[in-house]
Amino acid sequence: MEEVAAAHSATMDRSRSDRFLEETEGGPRTLRRSDTAVDLYHPFTKTVSPRDASEAQFDQSVYRVPHLRDLADNVGRFPSPLATAVATRSLGRSFVPETETILADIMSKKDAETVSREYLRGGPREYTAFHPKSVKAAIVTCGGLCPGINTVIRELYMTLTAMYGVEEVYGVRMGYRGFYSPELSLVRLTSDWVSDIHHRGGSVLGSSRGGFDLEMIVSAIAAYGFRHVYIIGGDGTQRGAQAIFEECCQRRMCVSVVGIPKTIDNDIAIIDNSFGFVTAVEEAQRAIRAAHVEAISGYHGIGLVRLMGRHSGYISMFATLASGDVDVCLIPEIEFDLAGDCGLLSHIERLLDTKGHCVIVVAEGAGLSQMLRDDDDADEAHDASGNVKLPNVGIWLSEEIKRHFRARGREINLKYLDPSYEIRSVPPVATDTIMCTLLAQSAVHGAMAGYTGFICGVVNTHHVMIPLREIVRKGRTRVDLSSRMWHRVLASTLQPPLRNQSPRKEHDK
Amino acid sequence: MEEVAAAHSATMDRSRSDRFLEETEGGPRTLRRSDTAVDLYHPFTKTVSPRDASEAQFDQSVYRVPHLRDLADNVGRFPSPLATAVATRSLGRSFVPETETILADIMSKKDAETVSREYLRGGPREYTAFHPKSVKAAIVTCGGLCPGINTVIRELYMTLTAMYGVEEVYGVRMGYRGFYSPELSLVRLTSDWVSDIHHRGGSVLGSSRGGFDLEMIVSAIAAYGFRHVYIIGGDGTQRGAQAIFEECCQRRMCVSVVGIPKTIDNDIAIIDNSFGFVTAVEEAQRAIRAAHVEAISGYHGIGLVRLMGRHSGYISMFATLASGDVDVCLIPEIEFDLAGDCGLLSHIERLLDTKGHCVIVVAEGAGLSQMLRDDDDADEAHDASGNVKLPNVGIWLSEEIKRHFRARGREINLKYLDPSYEIRSVPPVATDTIMCTLLAQSAVHGAMAGYTGFICGVVNTHHVMIPLREIVRKGRTRVDLSSRMWHRVLASTLQPPLRNQSPRKEHDK
Amino acid sequence: MEEVAAAHSATMDRSRSDRFLEETEGGPRTLRRSDTAVDLYHPFTKTVSPRDASEAQFDQSVYRVPHLRDLADNVGRFPSPLATAVATRSLGRSFVPETETILADIMSKKDAETVSREYLRGGPREYTAFHPKSVKAAIVTCGGLCPGINTVIRELYMTLTAMYGVEEVYGVRMGYRGFYSPELSLVRLTSDWVSDIHHRGGSVLGSSRGGFDLEMIVSAIAAYGFRHVYIIGGDGTQRGAQAIFEECCQRRMCVSVVGIPKTIDNDIAIIDNSFGFVTAVEEAQRAIRAAHVEAISGYHGIGLVRLMGRHSGYISMFATLASGDVDVCLIPEIEFDLAGDCGLLSHIERLLDTKGHCVIVVAEGAGLSQMLRDDDDADEAHDASGNVKLPNVGIWLSEEIKRHFRARGREINLKYLDPSYEIRSVPPVATDTIMCTLLAQSAVHGAMAGYTGFICGVVNTHHVMIPLREIVRKGRTRVDLSSRMWHRVLASTLQPPLRNQSPRKEHDK
Amino acid sequence: MEEVAAAHSATMDRSRSDRFLEETEGGPRTLRRSDTAVDLYHPFTKTVSPRDASEAQFDQSVYRVPHLRDLADNVGRFPSPLATAVATRSLGRSFVPETETILADIMSKKDAETVSREYLRGGPREYTAFHPKSVKAAIVTCGGLCPGINTVIRELYMTLTAMYGVEEVYGVRMGYRGFYSPELSLVRLTSDWVSDIHHRGGSVLGSSRGGFDLEMIVSAIAAYGFRHVYIIGGDGTQRGAQAIFEECCQRRMCVSVVGIPKTIDNDIAIIDNSFGFVTAVEEAQRAIRAAHVEAISGYHGIGLVRLMGRHSGYISMFATLASGDVDVCLIPEIEFDLAGDCGLLSHIERLLDTKGHCVIVVAEGAGLSQMLRDDDDADEAHDASGNVKLPNVGIWLSEEIKRHFRARGREINLKYLDPSYEIRSVPPVATDTIMCTLLAQSAVHGAMAGYTGFICGVVNTHHVMIPLREIVRKGRTRVDLSSRMWHRVLASTLQPPLRNQSPRKEHDK
C-alpha cells in the first residue's frame, strides 16, 4: 500500500534513504536518538549544548529557533544546492550566517538600560539538513480568507522546486481536515497548476476553520512521509502548528513544521505586520470613500463603515489614517459613551451642525461593553453552545443613531456599509505580494536548513524566524492607546475622548 | 429687492427683455396668450395647429414634444449662437432638423403590420427660443445617488455657458427642498467650481428624497426668474417634474422644464438604458467576484450577493451575465419555491454536491411573496406610516439556507454581501460619462430651442426627446421573462425554473 | 490514421453519421448536391428558391445569411436540444423565428422615402442542422489583442457543450497558422481549462497576424473533421474567413464558418460597436488622466496621449468625450495645420496663455499627410517590402511642439504617453463581457441552425447575423465629420478647425 | 508696504511680537545672538553646550538635529497647544521626550562590535519654540511628480492649523521659482481648498525643476516673514534646502527649514523608503501584467517594460518581485552583455525555446555602458549644453533584440511599454497616504519645537528627524548587489549573471 510505504519512509524506512545518501554522500547513516531527553517546553535552550563555537556567542537575549539536530544526532548536512545552481551562480556568497540576528527593541530611551531581544535572521543557509530529493512537502491553509494566501502557496512551491530541486509538493485541501478527511484528496502541485494563482484572491487549496485533530494529522504526516509541513493560518492555527511540532518531536519524526502567520487583523505580536493587512487597509478605503460620498451628498448625511477587527482595531486605525475623511474611529480597545454631553451621539450632532455630515469607522469588536450594557435581555447574547455571540456593532450603532435623531425630530440620512468579504477576497497589492513571496522563501530556507517549530515574520523591516512557542505565548496584540500611532489617529480625526467625565460615577465603581 | 425683481422678469417684466430684444432683434414683442385654450393633458397634439409645412408631415406615430410656442405666440426665435461661435466654426451645418425622428420599434416580425412609434431626435436646433443673456438656469438633483450625476451637472453648465453663452447657472441644494428651504441657499456655479467634479462620485449639489411642494417650487422658479429648470431624478422626481411643467404652463411662465432620468435600476420605459446603470453592473462584479472567491475557497462555500432592484431585476440580470460565475439569479419578476424537489434549497444542494460551491445573486425586491408567505407575523411588515416595509431578502435568504443545511446536519460556509452604497457612490465609467455628457448637451439644446416638459434619453442608440407625460404614463418597466436577455441569463447560469410543478397544489390554493 | 479518419467523416463518411441519423431520426439520408449550381458571389439570394412560405415574405431589403441547406438538399433538421434541456425548461417558447429581422436605418428624415435595410435576428432556432454529437468545433483567434477574446472563447465552449451537448471543442493555437503548423498542436478545451479564463486579458489560445494559407487551412478543417469553425479576428481575418467559407462551399463541405469581428478600433461597418471597444475607451481614461495631472502640475504643462486608431479616430473621439479634460483631439479623418495663425501650435500657445496647460489626444493614424509633407526624406517612409511605414505621430508631434516653443524661447513641460499595450491587454469591463457572451451564444445558435458565412454583431442594440460578404464588402468605417458625435467632441473640447483659411490655396487645388 | 512689513516682522520687528509675547508669556524677550560663533558645518554638535541634563546623556552615535536655540539664546518656549486642545484631550501624556532615539543598525553579526547610529525620534514635543499665532508657513513642491505630494500638502496644512492653531499657511507655486517669480503669486491655503486634494494625483501647487536662486529665495522668505518653510523635493531640492537653511542661519533668521524627501526612485540614503515608492511599485504591476499578457498571447512573445530609475534599480527590483511573472530584471547597478553565450540575447533565446515567451523589466538607467559601447557615434550622446544625454534603454534594447532575431530569421513579437507618467501621476495607495500623513505631522511637530535643517523620514519603521546635512552628504543610494533583496530577485526570476566569462577580455582591459 502506497500510504504505508509512505509512512514507512518518513519515520523508519532507512534503507531507501540510506541507500540514496550512501550514493550521494559516501556512507550509510542511521537516525539516532540524541542522548539527552528532549524537554519540549524548553527543548532547545536548556538541554542542548552548543554544537559549534559560533553558537556559544549567542546572547541570552536571542530567541533560539528549534532545529532538527537538537532532536537527533544524525541530521544531514548537505551543501546547499543554491551554491551551485546555474540560475543563481551570482548568489554564491549570499548565505546568511547562523548567528546573524535582528534587534527587536530599537527605541532608545536613554534612561532605561534594557537589553534588546534579538531574533534569528531568516534566509538561505550554507548547509541544508535535507537532501532535496528526500523532501516531500505539504502545504495547508486554515481559517478565513486573507489576500496573499495563493502567493504564499505559489512561492513555497517555486522555492522548493526551482531553487532547491525538491520534487514532491502537495496541497492539503480545506484546512486541517484535509490531512485525514476521506472526501478531500491531496493535490499534487505542478508548475502549471501554480502558474497563475498569485493573481487570484482566496485560497486555491480551500480553507476552513476547525478540523484540528492532532492525532490524525500527525499520523497522516507520518503516513504520507512529509518532511516539511507549511501551515498558513492565524492565531488558533498556529497553536495547532505548535502542537503538531511538539507531537512530531515526541515521535522523533524528522519533520520541519513551519508556520506562516495569517491574520488580516494584523494582531500578531512581535512582527511588523502580517501579510494581507496592507491590502485590507487599501480595500477599506473604497468603503470609506463610498461612506464619505454618501455623507456629503445627503441631507445631514452619516456614513458608517464596519471594518474587520474582533479583538483589535488595527485595520480601522490605519484605514482611518489613510482616508483623511473619517471623523470618528471606534476600536475595541477604547471605551466610549453613547449618551451624555461628551458621548458619541452628541459628538455626531455637533459634526452635523458644523460640517453638515460625518463619517464613522467602527471595528467589529468595538462597543461590546456598551452593547451588552444596553441589552435588556443579556442572556440572549450567548449562542446555543454557550459561547458569547458578538452582536453586530454596525447594526446596533446605526439603530442607536437613528433612534436618537428620530427622538429629536431631526432628519438624518445614515448609510451603513459592511465590506468585510469584499476586502478579504481580493488579490494582494504589490507590497503584500512581496511580503508573501519573501515569507515563503524564508520559510523554505529555514525548513531546508533543518529549523522547525518556527514562524516566519518581519521585525523592523528584516525577515526573521520566531519560535512558534513565542508567538503562541504572546497571543494577540491590541492597539496601544498611548502609542504615537493612535495619537495620530486622534489628531487626524480630531475626535474627543467620547467619555462623560463623571468622577463621582467613577468613584462609585 | 433682488428676488422680486427676478420673479418679475420671468413672468411679466417685458420692458427690460423687450428693450433687449428690440436692440438685438429689431422690434418690440409682447408675450401674448395664444388664442386657443391650453389642454394640459393633450396640450400640444390637439389644440395647436402646425406652424410650418414640415410639421404637417408628422406621423401620428411621432411623440410630439411640448414647445413654448404652443403656449404663446410671441416666443423668441434667435439664430443659434452655435452657428457663429469661433470654437465651433466647423459645426455650421450640424443642426438637427425639427422633423428628424428615431424609430422605436425596429424588430420586424413580418406577420404583424405595426406602425412604429417615433421619437423626436435631440440635438442643436438652428433657432433658439431664448436669447442666451436672458437665460437663468437652475439644476436640481433628487433621490438616491447614481454614478454620473456630477458629470450631468458639469456638462449642463459647460454647454449653457461655453456653447450658448448663458451667464447665470445655479445649483439647487439637497433636492426639491432646496428651491425654498431657508437653510439651503442656491449655489452660483462657476467654471472653477465644476472643473473637477466629474471625477467624483455622489452629487456635489446634494440630493435627497421628498421635499416636493409644487406651489413653493413653482413660486420659487418664478421669483428667481429661472427660464430653464433641469431636474435630475428618478421615477417620482419626474412625476414632480411633470407637475412643475404643467403648473408653469398654467401660469403662462416662459420656462423650459427638462428632466434627466436617473435610476440606477434602469427601469425607465422607452429608453435603452439610464445613466449610471453600466457603472452599477461594473461595480457589482467586484461583489460577485468576492462571493465567488469565498465560495470556491470555503468548504461547501455559498456566496450570496444582494444587488439593487426593488421593482426590477435589471442590475442582477446584467451583473449575472457579465460575471460568468453566478449559478442562481433571483429577480423580483420571477416566483420561486424555497422547499421542495424543484425548489431553491434542493438546487443549492445539488450544486454543492456537483460543483462543491455556488454563487447566488438576488435583487432586493426578489422573493417578496415567499418572504411574506413565510412570515408568521405578517402584520409587522408595515411601517408606522402604513407602507409595506420590504423585508431584507438577502438576510432572509441566508437565514433560510443556513437553517435548511443545519437541519440536515450538513456543514456549509455562507458569505453574504450587500454592496449597495459602494456601487452607488463611485464615479461613472467612461460609457456612463459619455452618456451623461450627451444627455446634458441634449437637454440644453432642447431647452434653448424652446422645448419643455420632456426628458432626454437614448432610444436604439440615438439621443431623443421624450414627453415627460409619456415617461410618467408608462411608469417603471420590468424584466420581460420571455425576452432573449432573460433566456441568456438562464443559459449562462443553467438555473432551472425553481418551481415545484404541482398543479394540484396550485389548485388547492 | 486518426486525421484521415477525421477528414473522412467530415466530407464523405456517411456510414457512421448515417447510421447515427438512422437510429435517431428514423431513416438513412445521403448528402446530395443541390440541383442548381451554387453561385458563390450571390450564393444564397439568387439561386435558391424559397423553401417555405415565410421566406417568401422576405423583403428585398433583408440581408440573407447563407445556410447549409442552400448548398445541399439533405441537411439535417433536428429539434433543438434547448427545447428539452432540464436547465432551460423555462426556455421552451423562446426560439427566434427564422424571419425575424432588425431594421438598420431608423433615423427618419420625413423628406426622403428610403427603405431600411434589415438584418436577420440572431438567437436559437427551433431546429438545428447538426446533431450535437456529430459536431466537432474549432476556435481560432487572429490579430492583435483586444479585451474580451477569452470571454468569447469560454462562452463558445460553454454554449456548445452545456447548452447543446456538443462534446468536442478544439482551440487552434496562435492564429491561422495553428491549423497546419506542425509545432502548434490543437488544444482540446475542457470545462476546467476555460473555467477562469474570462477574468484574464489576452488570448489563452495565442494570436498572431498572418499565417493565412487557404489551401492548408481548409484541408486541415476537412482532415480534422470540424463542422463548426469560429474565427475571431479583425478586418483581414474576416476576409480570410470569407475565403474559407467560399472554399468550403466549393468543396461541398458541411461546415459552418462563423466570424466574430474583433477590432479594438471599432471601425467595422454596420454594427453598433465591436467588443473590447468600451474597455479600450475606459482604459484610455487612465492615460488621459495622467496626462492631465502632469499638465496641470507642471509649468506650462502639455500632456500628449497617443491612442490606437490607424485608420479611424473612434477610440480618440470617445475617450475625449469621456474624459472632459481634453483640449485637442486629432484623428485620422481630419486635416490640420501645425503652423500658421489657425494652426495647432498657435492654438496650444493660446491655451497655455489662458489655461496655463493643455491636454492633446492624437490617434495613431492622425497627421499622416502633415508628417509626410514635413518629411524631407519621404522615400524612407516605406519599409523593406514597399509598404508605407507609418511614422509615429506622437513622437513627431512632441518634437514639433518642443521645437516650436524652443524657437520662441518659451519654457514648456511636455509629457508624452503611449498606453497602447496596457489598453489592449486588460480583461474586459462588464459591458464588453456581456457583449462577448452574447456574441458567442449568437454565433453558436447560428452555426447549430445551419447558417454559415456570417458574422455576429449588434445593430441598434439587437443581436443579428450579417453575411460575411457584406462586412468584407463594406470594409472599414471612419468617423463621419458631419455626425453629431464628432460635433459633440468639438463642443466638449472647444477646439477650432485648426486650418489656416487660405482660399487661394484651396483654389489652386 | 505689506511685503516690507512682513520681512520686518520676521527678522527685526520685535515690538509687535514682543508685545504679543509679553501679553501671553509675562515679559519682554529680545532675540539675542548666542555667544559663540556658529560653525555652520558642525553647527550643533561642537559649539553648543548641552542645555539640560538629558542632553548630556546623548551618545556620540546620535545624529543631532539643528535647533533654533543653537542659534540664539532667546528662542521661545511655549507649552504645546496639544496639551490643552479639546480635540486631543486624551493626548496629554503623549509627547515624545527630546532624548528618545531610534537605532539604525540593527543587524547583529556577533563578530563585529559596532556601535549603532541613532536618530532622533520624531513627534510632538512638550514645548514649542513658536507661538502658533506668530507662525506664517510656506510649502513648496519641486521636481517631478510623485504619488502623495498633495497628501503631504494637505496634512501640513491640517496639522499646522487644526492641531497647533497656526493661521497663515501659504503655497508656493511651481517649485522654487514661485518664491520670487512675479508671474506666480502665492496661494493662501484654506480648509476648503485642501479638503479634497488628497484624492488627486500630481501637485496642486504645481512643481518644476530648476529655478533655485538662493539669494532671491531667502530674501523672499525674509520679506514674506515665513517662520516655517516646508520643502518637498528630491536629491537636488534637498541640497537646495540645506543651502537655504545655512543661509537663514547666517542671516540669524528665526526660520525652521524642513525637508520632506520625495523621490519615486526610493534612492535616498538612511530611510526605509520614500513616499510614493509603494504606489509606484503597485502601478508598475499594471504595465508588467500587460507585458506578460502580450508575451503569452503572442507567437514567441517578448514583453519589455521600462521602469523609472536613472541611478538605481529599486522600482524595477521590487516591481519584479511583486509580479512573479518577470524573467529578466536589468538595473543600473548590474553590468550585462548582450551578445555571447551568456549574454542577454542568448538567454532570451533559451527562454523562447523553453517557455515560449519572456518578460523583461529594465530600469531607465540600466545598460548605459553597453549602449555607449554600442554607439558608433558616441559624440551624439551629449546634448547642446554638453550634458550626457541618456539614450533610451528601452528603445535601444527593443531594437537590439529585434535585430538579433531578424538576423537569425526567427519570428518574434516584441511589445515595448513605457508607463512612466501613468505611474507618477496617480493618487497614492493607502500605505503611502499614511506615510505622507505621518511625515507631514512629524515635520510640523519638529518645526514647531524649533528644530530646523532636518528632513523627516522613517528608519526601521519609526519616524525620525535626520539632519539635512547627513542626507546631502550621503547622496543617493544604489541597490546592493550582495543584499538578500537582490538575491531574492535573482531567485524569483532565475536569471543568470548575463556576463560572458572571458578572463582574457577582462585582462585586456
Q: D142-162: per-residue pLDDT in tens?
A: 999 999 999 999 999 999 999
How far does A199 lie from chain C, in Å, by closest CA? 10
Q: How many CB pairs under 8 A join C and D?
A: 91
Q: What is the pLDDT along chain C (509 residues), one digit of tens a residue?
A: 333 333 333 343 444 434 433 333 333 333 344 444 444 433 333 333 333 334 434 446 788 899 998 877 778 899 998 876 544 455 545 789 888 889 888 887 655 555 678 899 999 999 999 999 999 999 999 999 999 999 999 999 999 999 999 999 999 999 999 999 999 999 999 999 999 999 999 999 999 988 999 999 999 999 999 999 999 999 899 999 999 999 998 888 999 999 999 999 999 989 999 999 999 999 999 999 999 999 999 999 999 999 999 999 999 999 999 999 999 999 999 999 999 999 999 999 999 999 999 999 999 999 988 787 665 554 445 544 445 567 899 999 999 999 999 999 999 999 999 999 999 999 999 999 999 999 999 999 999 999 999 999 999 999 999 999 999 998 899 999 988 999 999 888 989 989 887 554 444 43
- C429–B487 C-beta distance less than 8 A: no
Is residue B354 classed exposed, middle or buried when 0-12, 13-18 and 19+ CB atoms within 10 A define those classes?
A: exposed
> Chain D interface residues facing chain C, Cβ-Cβ under 8 Å?
145, 174-175, 177, 200-204, 206-208, 286-287, 289-291, 293-294, 296-299, 413, 415-419, 421-422, 424-426
pLDDT of residue C375: 56
pLDDT of residue A376: 53
Q: What is the 3-state secondary structure (H, E, C) of B438-478?
A: HHHHHHHHHHHHCECCEEEEEECCEEEEEEHHHHHHHCECC
Q: Do residues A311 and A267 make contact, with C-beta atoms less than 8 angstroms apart?
A: yes
**Calpha distance D42→A226 (Å, rounded):** 62
**pLDDT tens digits along A294-347:** 999 999 999 999 999 999 999 999 999 999 999 999 999 999 999 999 999 999
Q: Do residues C30 and C73 make contact, with C-beta atoms less than 8 angstroms apart?
A: no
pLDDT of residue C217: 97
pLDDT of residue A25: 38
Q: Do residues B163 and B85 make contact, with C-beta atoms less than 8 angstroms apart?
A: yes
Residues of C whose CB is below 8 A from B99 = 109-111
- C200–A200 C-beta distance less than 8 A: no
**Calpha distance A18→A9 (Å, rounded):** 10
pLDDT of residue B39: 42
Q: Do residues B233 and B262 make contact, with C-beta atoms less than 8 angstroms apart?
A: yes
pLDDT of residue A491: 86
pLDDT of residue C92: 46
- A299–B175 C-beta distance less than 8 A: yes
Number of Cβ atoms within 10 Å of the Cβ of C84: 11
**pLDDT tens digits along D324-365:** 999 999 999 999 999 999 999 999 999 999 999 999 999 999
Residues of C whose CB is below 8 A from A196 = 196, 200
Tell me the three state secondary structure of residue C76. coil
pTM as predicted? 0.89
Among candidates D177, D291, D425 on the partner chain, residue whose Cβ is nearest the Cβ of C290: D425
Catalytic residue among C265, C325, C327, C337: C265
User: What Å distances lie between residue D235 and C242, C243, D142, D280, CA to CA?
Assistant: 61, 63, 10, 18
User: Among this protein's residues, is D265 annotated catalytic?
Assistant: yes
pLDDT of residue D45: 36
* Average pLDDT over all residues of chain D: 84
Segment among A45-59, A492-506, B448-462 with least mean pLDDT: A45-59
Question: Own/partner pairs for B497-501, CB < 8 Å, 24+ apart?
Answer: B497/B342, B497/C89, B497/C90, B498/B328, B498/B334, B498/B336, B498/B337, B498/B342, B498/B343, B498/B344, B498/B347, B499/B335, B499/B336, B499/B337, B499/B342, B499/B343, B500/B337, B500/B339, B500/B340, B500/B341, B500/B342, B500/B343, B501/B342
Among candidates D145, D206, D294 on the partner chain, residue whose Cβ is nearest the Cβ of C425: D294
Among candidates A206, A293, A413 on the partner chain, residue whose Cβ is nearest the Cβ of B202: A293
Spell out where C323-408 has E strands. Answer: 328-330, 358-363
Q: How many CB pairs under 8 A join B and C?
A: 190
Mean predicted confidence (pLDDT) in D121-125:
94
Q: Do residues A414 and A402 make contact, with C-beta atoms less than 8 angstroms apart?
A: yes
Listed in sequence order, the DSSP H helices in A298-343 are 314-323
Catalytic residue among D73, D111, D213, D265: D265
Confidence check: pLDDT of A352 > 90? yes
pLDDT of residue D31: 39
| Interface with chain B: mutation pick from C433, C479, C481, C485, highest number of B CBs within 10 Å | C433
Listed in sequence order, the DSSP H helices in B53-188 are 53-56, 149-158
Residues in chain B where the model's pLDDT stays below 50: 1-59, 86-88, 92, 378-380, 383-386, 503-509
Residues of C whose CB is below 8 A from A425 = none
The residue of chain A with its CA nearest to that of D317 is: A434
- D99–A107 C-beta distance less than 8 A: no
- B155–C437 C-beta distance less than 8 A: no
pLDDT of residue C61: 77
Confidence check: pLDDT of A129 > 70? yes
- A200–B426 C-beta distance less than 8 A: no
Catalytic residue among B73, B111, B235, B265: B265
- B429–C282 C-beta distance less than 8 A: yes
Subunits next to B (3 or more Cβ pairs <8 Å) are A, C
* Average pLDDT over all residues of chain A: 84
Cα separation of the two ends of chain B: 69
Nearest Cα neighbor of B491 from C196, C136, C95 is C95
Instruction: Categorise residue C206: left if φ over 0, alpha if ψ from -120 to 50, beta otherwise.
Output: left
- B174–A422 C-beta distance less than 8 A: no
Sign of the CA dihedral with A303 first, then A309, A315, and A320 last: positive
- A93–D437 C-beta distance less than 8 A: no
**Calpha distance C453→B505 (Å, rounded):** 50
Which residues on adjacent β-strands are paired with residue C256? C228
Tell me the three state secondary structure of residue B62. strand
User: What Å distances lie between residue D214 and C411, D140, D245, CA to CA?
Assistant: 21, 14, 10
> Chain A interface residues facing chain B, Cβ-Cβ under 8 Å?
145, 174-175, 177, 200-204, 206-208, 286-287, 289-291, 293-294, 296-299, 413, 415-419, 421-422, 424-426
- D145–C200 C-beta distance less than 8 A: no
pLDDT of residue D60: 59
How far does C286 lie from chain D, in Å, by closest CA? 7
Mean predicted confidence (pLDDT) in D45-67:
54
